[in-house]
Copies of this chain bind each other. A is one copy, B any other.
Amino acid sequence: AGKDVAADGSYSRRVFASFTFYKGKASLSMTPRLPEFSKMVSGALKIERMGVILLEFCPAIGPRKYDYEKKQMFALSATEVGSLISLGAKDSCEFFHDPSMKKSNEGQVRKTMTITPMSESGGYFFALSVVNSILKTNERFSVPVTNAEFAVMRTSFSFMLPYLMGWDQYMRQLPTSTVE
Contacts and interface: CB of A to CB of B under 8 A. Distances in A.
Interface string A151-171: 110111011111101111111
Nearest to A165: B19
A119 interface: no
B169 A17 contact: yes
Interface of A: 8, 10-19, 32, 34-40, 42-48, 78-83, 85-86, 93, 146-152, 154-156, 158-163, 165-180
A155 B158 contact: yes
A36 B174 CA distance: 10
A80 B155 CA distance: 13
A39 B148 contact: no
Contact of A180 (B15, B19, B39, B156): B39
